Structure 1
Amino acid sequence: MTKPTSNATGASFGKLSYLVVDDFENFRLSMRQILRNCGADKIESVANASAAVQYCAYNHVDVVLCDYNLGEGKNGQHILEELRHKKLLKRSSLFLMVTAETSKEMVMGAREYQPDGYLTKPINRAMLEKRLGSLIAQRNALLPINREIDRENFPEAISLCLQTLPSQPRYKTWLMKTLADLYYQVGDFSHALKIHDDVLSQRDLSWAKLGRGKILMANQDYDDAAATLKELVSQHPDYMEAYDLLAEALEKQGRPTQAQQILEKAAERSPNALLRHKHLAILASANQDMPTASQAWRQTVSLGTYSIHDNSEHYLALGQSLSDLSEGDSSDEGAAHADEALTILRRMEKRFAGEEDIKLRSRIVQSRVHAGQDRLKEAQNALDSIADELDPGLLPPEACLDYAKTLFRLGREADAKSL
């Protein structure tokens, strides 16, 4: 016999709109029934990522219950990433990742985009009512603050946080963190720093230490920021945001090699974060560490397959780094790098066919790859295929630089210098 839902719980569930995302119809039907038993009424369900993003683009959703593994294509992490990037979720909306998989790699990757919670399959009504009910209660208590933040009315949000602190002690941590973030947003670093220091004087909380590091960075106190963030990474090695900020602090200190090492550790712990791999690739390239740069670009391209952050520049950068690795290397390894570069550049031409200058930039690098392997005929053929577009006066600056490098490799030093 189904246990009746309390009036309070039913009312809180009943006022909200829900979206269930799962590729199995039976699970969608099951979740719909469980939500109805909890008092929910406005429930929509979809089978894949594109339908989920499209629905959120045209409809307000209070609660998203999204399976992590959606079969071929985008997964739950990609959906959360895209919804956050496009700002299709309000701060008051709840996103719960539903999964039968609990691997560290999955959890670390999904956590980068801050879901409000996780639900492990199989799901029953008691579990959903308890987990989601507490999140809804918090959502309702803090709704006025989140509304003002969504409106970017930060002074009013600060005022509401200060008013709510005495009356809602159970949400003190959330209120203090939000208040510090709001002070940071409006540039009031002294008040933000005081909150973090007050919190740290009572408890050693990761978010407060990270916030302190952010403020020290904003004040250009890079030495203290680096020291604070190193301590945080040492104490909480799974707190990924600290690695990113520490790498930034080390760069500001003029220590790019150490910054690269920090990002390498972070990428190893949480291997599904595209933007971190991209940062690592750029840093390794600047450090002239082309093997690491190539591997990081390789990961960036791979993770971009279903990501909102996919970009032709990632493919081009991978092709360029592999070109650098293969240049003048006649070994099997050198030839393999050259072949991989050509493959990735051809893929780029197909995947981003509609983008301006894609073919132009691809063929310039392809020519350099061939030249680096002493295949001069193929190198010239690549340039001949874009001969009509090789007007130095019309080339974009990045393509000009690439073209000059290619001309140098082809032994046309006078043309390269002129360009």
Structure 2
Amino acid sequence: MGTSDLNDIADIQHRLGKELARMRVLLVDRHASARNSMRIILSSLGITAVHNAGTSAEVLRQVKAYTFDIILSDYHLDDGRDGQQLLEELRHKNLISLSTVYMVVTAERAYQNVVSVAELAPDDYLIKPFTADQFHSRLIKTIYKKHFFEKVFGHLDNGAYAEALAACDSLIGKEDAYLYDILRFKGEILNVLGRHEEAKAVYQQVLDHAMVPWARMGLAIALRGMDELAEAEEMGASVIDDFPEYLAAYDFVASVREEMGKLAEAQQVLQKATVISPNNSVRQRMVGDVAVRNDDLDAAERAYGKVLERHQGSSLKVLDDYTNLTRVMLDKGHTEGAKKVTQDLRRDWRGNKQGELAALIMDSLCCEQEGEPAKAKQALEKALELRSSLGDSDQNEFSQKIAVDLAHACLASGDEKMAQEILSKVAAENHEDRSMIAQIQGVFSKTGHEEAGQSMLAQVGKEIVELNNRGVLAARSGDIETSVQMLIEAAERVPNMQFLVNATKAIFTLLDRKGWDEEMGDRGVRYLQMAQSKDPRNAKVISARELYHKVARKFGIEVVPIGGVRTAGEKSGG
């Protein structure tokens, strides 16, 4: 085990210091005075390209418009969230690259609360008060670390996990101080690639020397990947017991319990997490979804209500937040409350066709429940007319959950043909989504069509198996061209995760054998992008992406970044 030459490190840090003047910085703080003070410090270091954000919504707007080298966020934000949660949102949505320096400015107490249990830790915490010299020293060290991991981050941002893994291995032995960071990246990459036995060995290597929560969580994820669900659940639960602030463990345990069919226990652990961090909207939605499946409508209403309350009227609002709450209120018989939420939806989404369509669907369901079928049918007819006027891209982006609500309104008004058409499509495209299938089953049950629903879902499942088997069997027989055409046909008819991934792999296998074809390559990339939009960290998607990278490199074709993060050189705006 060695360390980098100290003179080399000093030279690199000196050069990085000179590069500060070319860096773009985003300051995030509720208080303009605090932002101004920080701007003065940055100016003393030669940094002049400084942007300001006083709210989380403004942060999102800025990162979509510009690429930032450095983000400095106060710990306490405007909407009850903290700088740690903001980082997690930006990373999970691929709005900033891993090479972006993210530092949190905090008081000592807040630092002690979060530093050891952060799922996605900031690059550094600046403890108030600090001087310009102290800030400069910490910043240069952080930038140096980013420089050390530059190749790893570049590959991860582009979704090239195999290359990122090789880059990690090349760094081992070069810098003692970063060994655990290297092993953490390596374990996470191995888990993502589905190489869980190797990931388990990496995390065990760490745990032999330090009982850190992230290594125990990584080990739990590896155990789950090895189908050792009981052991994974136990490991995750032990992390919660020993580190109750480590919120990622709650989400993990909930998902494992859901996979094991223990829905009540999954809901219970999620609700514990929301007590610790009540402002995390993603988790509150998860509580609502699981509670609906548990028929715990009171808990679902509370969870969905909190999400809507936080985002209503802001740039963070999502159509599903309104319809989720409306749907639960209708199930509870609270029609007036459902109508009020629909009014809010129509007001907040005025001028948006998808918003108006969602409002009309909810109008129809409310009228049906109030015993006014004529008004329900009138609203439904308007909804169907508006739906047909939407372009293909708008229809493709329309919420699948609200599409099921539209089918519900159709069934309630007697239009069984349209309902079957909508539900068959949604079921086929989401046949592995337990929550979506449960919603479809619920619609059939509520409208007295339970047997028809079971028959439709069985038929959809049969068709999916047959469509897939035709292509797979052709591939096994060695007829790769026929296999590709069949799997393309399946992906075009039913763009679900399974067909998109299978078609992608078949296309790039064919190109690997026969040579590069630009049109076919573009089709494979499009299917890969569609699959990734559904679940970017799905092991099957990542496997398909690795095959694409391998074949593209073989023929000297420039790889299209699938991750969606701009590289550091792509500066937007002025």
For 2:173 and 2:11, the matched residues in 1 are separated by 27
Q: How many residue pairs align between the two structures? A: 388
For 1:323 and 1:59, the matched residues in 2 are separated by 43
For 2:137 and 2:270, the matched residues in 1 are separated by 38
For 2:81 and 2:312, the matched residues in 1 are separated by 9
**1:144 equivalent in alignment to 2:151:** yes
For 1:180 and 1:81, the matched residues in 2 are separated by 19
Q: Indicate the residue corresponding to 2:183 in structure 1.
A: 176
User: What are the within-5 Å matches in structure 2 for residues 20-419 of structure 1?
Assistant: 20-22=27-29, 24-37=31-44, 39-49=45-55, 52-67=59-74, 80=87, 83-98=90-105, 114-119=121-126, 121-305=128-312, 310-325=317-332, 327=333, 337-353=334-350, 354-356=352-354, 357-368=357-368, 371=370, 376=371, 379-380=372-373, 382-383=375-376, 385-386=378-379, 388-389=381-382, 396-402=403-409, 404=411
* Higher deviation after alignment, 284-293 or 77-86: 77-86
Q: Cα offset for 1:107? A: 6.4
Q: Cα offset for 1:298? A: 0.8
For 1:241 and 1:79, the matched residues in 2 are separated by 15
Contact between 2:32 and 2:54, CA under 8 Å: does it hold in 1?
Answer: no
Structure 1 pair 66–382 and aligned structure 2 pair: CA distance change class (3 A): farther
Q: What amino acid does structure 1 have at the position aligned with 2:364?
A: I
RMSD over equivalenced CA pairs, Å: 3.7
* Higher deviation after alignment, 158-167 or 147-156: 147-156
Q: Indicate the residue corresponding to 2:18 in structure 1.
A: 14
Provide, for residues 159-180 of structure 1, a one-character-per-residue CA deviation record: whole Å limited to 9, x for no partner: 2222212111101111000011
Contact between 1:14 and 1:41, CA under 8 Å: does it hold in 2?
Answer: no
* Higher deviation after alignment, 169-178 or 186-195: 186-195
TM-score by length of 2: 0.59
Structure 1 pair 223–311 and aligned structure 2 pair: CA distance change class (3 A): same
Q: What amino acid does structure 1 have at the position aligned with 2:264?
A: T
SS of residue matched to 2:150: helix
For 2:226 and 2:315, the matched residues in 1 are separated by 32
Q: Cα offset for 1:278? A: 0.8
Q: Indicate the residue corresponding to 2:509 in structure 1.
A: none
SS of residue matched to 2:98: coil
SS of residue matched to 1:162: helix
* Higher deviation after alignment, 23-32 or 183-192: 23-32
Contact between 1:352 and 1:358, CA under 8 Å: does it hold in 2?
Answer: no
Q: What amino acid does structure 1 have at the position aligned with 2:18?
A: G
For 1:308 and 1:218, the matched residues in 2 are separated by 37
For 2:68 and 2:345, the matched residues in 1 are separated by 36
SS of residue matched to 1:45: strand
For 1:265 and 1:284, the matched residues in 2 are separated by 14
SS of residue matched to 2:173: helix
For 2:322 and 2:35, the matched residues in 1 are separated by 37
For 2:365 and 2:108, the matched residues in 1 are separated by 41
Q: Indicate the residue corresponding to 1:334 in structure 2.
A: none
For 1:130 and 1:86, the matched residues in 2 are separated by 30
Gaps of 5+ in 2: 1-9, 389-401, 415-445, 453-574
For 1:311 and 1:59, the matched residues in 2 are separated by 23
For 1:307 and 1:170, the matched residues in 2 are separated by 43
SS of residue matched to 1:90: coil
Contact between 1:363 and 1:383, CA under 8 Å: does it hold in 2?
Answer: yes
Q: Indicate the residue corresponding to 1:3 in structure 2.
A: none
For 2:15 and 2:384, the matched residues in 1 are separated by 68
Contact between 2:313 and 2:348, CA under 8 Å: does it hold in 1?
Answer: no
Q: Indicate the residue corresponding to 2:544 in structure 1.
A: none
For 1:172 and 1:307, the matched residues in 2 are separated by 42
For 2:49 and 2:174, the matched residues in 1 are separated by 33
Percent of counterpart pairs with the same letter?
22
* Higher deviation after alignment, 256-265 or 78-87: 78-87
Structure 1 pair 218–310 and aligned structure 2 pair: CA distance change class (3 A): farther
For 2:207 and 2:186, the matched residues in 1 are separated by 15
For 2:80 and 2:276, the matched residues in 1 are separated by 24
For 1:191 and 1:389, the matched residues in 2 are separated by 56
Q: Cα offset for 1:35? A: 2.0
Q: What amino acid does structure 1 have at the position aligned with 2:376?
A: L
Contact between 1:319 and 1:365, CA under 8 Å: does it hold in 2?
Answer: no
For 1:204 and 1:70, the matched residues in 2 are separated by 31
Q: What amino acid does structure 2 have at the position aligned with 1:383?
A: A
TM-score by length of 1: 0.79
Structure 1 pair 199–318 and aligned structure 2 pair: CA distance change class (3 A): same
For 1:380 and 1:282, the matched residues in 2 are separated by 29
Provide, for residues 71-127 of structure 1, a one-character-per-residue CA deviation record: whole Å limited to 9, x for no partner: 6899867864663354231111112233579769x969x956643344355553244
SS of residue matched to 1:166: coil
Contact between 2:368 and 2:376, CA under 8 Å: does it hold in 1?
Answer: no
Contact between 1:66 and 1:97, CA under 8 Å: does it hold in 2?
Answer: yes
For 1:94 and 1:382, the matched residues in 2 are separated by 55
Q: Cα offset for 1:70? A: 6.4
For 2:316 and 2:291, the matched residues in 1 are separated by 20
Structure 1 pair 131–381 and aligned structure 2 pair: CA distance change class (3 A): farther
Q: What amino acid does structure 1 have at the position aligned with 2:363?
A: R
Q: Indicate the residue corresponding to 1:333 in structure 2.
A: none
Q: What amino acid does structure 2 have at the position aligned with 1:193?
A: K
Q: Looking at both structures, which has the greater relative contact order when contacts are Cα pairs under 8 Å and sequence separation is at least 6?
A: 2
Structure 1 pair 67–202 and aligned structure 2 pair: CA distance change class (3 A): closer
Contact between 1:97 and 1:118, CA under 8 Å: does it hold in 2?
Answer: yes
Q: What amino acid does structure 2 have at the position aligned with 1:46?
A: N
Contact between 2:99 and 2:146, CA under 8 Å: does it hold in 1?
Answer: yes
SS of residue matched to 1:310: coil
Q: Cα offset for 1:221? A: 1.6
